[in-house]
Amino acid sequence: MPTQTNRRWLIAKPLEGKLSQANFRWMESTVPSVADGQFLVHNRWLSVDPTQVLVFNSGDPPGSAVPIGEAPWSLAVSEVVESRHPAFSRGDIVHGQMAWEDYTLTDGTGFNPAFPVPAGIPLDWAAGALGLTGLVAYFGLHEVARPKPGETFVISGAAGGVGSIASQLAKIHGLRVIGIAGSPAKCDWLVREAGVDAAINYHQEDVGKRLTELCPQGIDIFFDTVGGPTLELALHRLRTRGRVVLCGITSQYLADPPAPGPANLVQLIMVNGRMEGFLGRDFIPRRSEAFDAMLPLLRSGRLKSKEDVLVGLREAPKALARLLSGENVGKQLVRMDEPPGS
């Protein structure tokens, strides 16, 4: 049982406008004791994701909100340091929903249940490319989009955590890939490193015009992580039996009031199209399929894990603010530092 202090971030006040460190409060407490059916983890890497802003909401989806004075959560890669749970043992590395703190006490359940990380996987990959982020990219492409080689694949948020993996997997699968991102650095990485066929900077270019130029025959698959007007532009250009994959709405999480839904859903009818949303957690039982497919690609360098890493628990609020403002290039992560006395 660790004897050192447990450093923690707590929610200090509701989110009104732009997120800042003022929304959080730093505190130190004792490390909690383990009861039957629980295990204690030492958090090693925090995955920073747009859906974390839901901790400030009223609870949509249910159970997502965090009360004032409690710790926000992240998907994390953690080491089990004590266990009274039959499925987890000391020394296990796990991926699961943990609090912004050094040590989290959990029973492994929740909206994103914990699962063991296979031996030999680098912890940063486990937090990103082979974590829930990777499951969303892999199964969103292969299970929901059901691509055919040669099809045109357009993805919003293409240089983010999910997008950076999904865009590469689509290219590896033989698709023509167009990425939409929000800075010259992101577009440059997509073309030069990720190998996509073209990238559109939505801050500097007319997205609709560029989609028409780059996809003169239309779009077969639109993989959407953003929502809003970009979704409408893609729907307008969807080909016969085109598919829209919905895995996030980053443009809407902080919108007040929320933007109305797409006004041109009739396009799905006119082209016999399909639009489907999904959650990465639904594919956790099938995670070995994704690991088996992606791990060799990562090790060979054909699939690149682009990471934007801040170091230290104190950097967690900054990391989330960077993500929400679009400053990150690739998967936003926090590599935990060691607590005092460890």
pLDDT 10s digit of each residue in the chain, 342 long? Answer: 556 799 999 999 888 778 888 999 999 999 999 999 999 999 999 999 988 887 776 555 555 578 889 999 999 999 999 999 999 999 999 999 999 999 999 999 988 899 999 999 999 999 999 999 999 999 999 999 999 999 999 999 999 999 999 999 999 999 999 999 999 999 999 999 999 999 999 999 999 999 999 999 999 999 999 988 999 999 999 999 999 999 988 777 666 676 777 899 999 999 999 999 999 999 999 999 999 999 999 999 999 999 999 999 999 999 999 998 889 999 999 999 987 665
How long a stretch of residues is the chain?
342
What CATH architecture does domain 5-128+306-335 belong to? Alpha-Beta Complex (3.90)
* CATH class entry, domain 132-281: alpha beta
Matching CATH topology for 5-128+306-335 and 132-281? no
CB atoms within 10 A of CB 161: 33
* CB-based burial, 228-249: b 16+ in 10 Å, e otherwise: bebbbbbbebbbeebbbbbbbb
- Gap between the Cα atoms of 254 and 256, Å rounded: 6
What pLDDT, on the 0 to 100 scale, is given for residue 16? 78
List 276's β-bridge partners, or say none: 245
* Structure tokens that stand for 143 in this block: 């299970």
CB atoms within 10 A of CB 184: 12
Over the stretch 191-216, which tens digit does the pLDDT of each residue have? 999 999 999 999 999 999 999 999 99
What pLDDT, on the 0 to 100 scale, is given for residue 57? 65
What pLDDT, on the 0 to 100 scale, is given for residue 64? 59
From the list 336, 319, 23, 44, the residue with the least C-alpha distance to 161 is 319
What pLDDT, on the 0 to 100 scale, is given for residue 340? 64
What pLDDT, on the 0 to 100 scale, is given for residue 17? 76
Strand order in the sheet with 219-224: 198-201, 176-181, 152-156, 219-224, 238-246, 274-277
What pLDDT, on the 0 to 100 scale, is given for residue 208? 97
What pLDDT, on the 0 to 100 scale, is given for residue 61? 52
Using an 8 Å Cβ cutoff, are 46 and 22 in contact?
Answer: no
DSSP assignments along 4-61, one per residue: SEEEEEEE-S---SS--GGGEEEEEEEPPPP-TT-EEEEEEEEE--GGGGGGGSS-SS
Domain parsing of the chain, residue ranges: 5-128+306-335, 132-281
Total-model pTM: 0.93
What pLDDT, on the 0 to 100 scale, is given for residue 341? 60
